[in-house]
């Protein structure tokens, strides 16, 4: 599986504190190995084709588009921001 960041998600990642960046990297490694790894809480977002979300930790989320073996991270950050709601 190939994981790439949108420009917006990359900017959001660079603004995160180092400990959160470390968690993000860990969760994306898990996503690459097992799409439904339990700590990811992977779920389909309703109303948006091919759009999924994962949990980075209790407060941070990431949303992404999955097309075949390509995952494009769309948004990343605190809960609502990470789900692209703000």
Task: Give me the residues of the chain with pLDDT under 50, please.
Answer: none
For residue 16, the enclosing domain spans 2-82
Which domain CATH number covers 70? 3.30.2310.20
3-class state of residue 71 by DSSP: strand
Contacts of 9 (CB under 8 A, 6+ apart): 62, 73, 74, 75, 76
pLDDT per residue as tens digits for the range 29-50:
999 999 999 999 999 999 889 9
How many domains is the chain built from?
Answer: 1
Q: What is the pTM of this model?
A: 0.88
């Amino acid at each position: 599986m190939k994981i790439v960041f949108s420009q917006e998600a990359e900017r959001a990642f660079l603004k995160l504190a180092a400990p959160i960046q470390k968690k993000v990297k860990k969760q994306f490694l898990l996503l690459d190995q097992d799409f439904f790894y339990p700590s990811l809480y992977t779920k389909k977002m309703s109303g948006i084709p091919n759009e999924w979300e994962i949990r980075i930790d209790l407060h941070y989320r990431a949303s992404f588009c999955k097309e075949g073996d390509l995952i494009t991270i769309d948004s990343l950050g605190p809960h609502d921001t990470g789900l692209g709601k703000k």
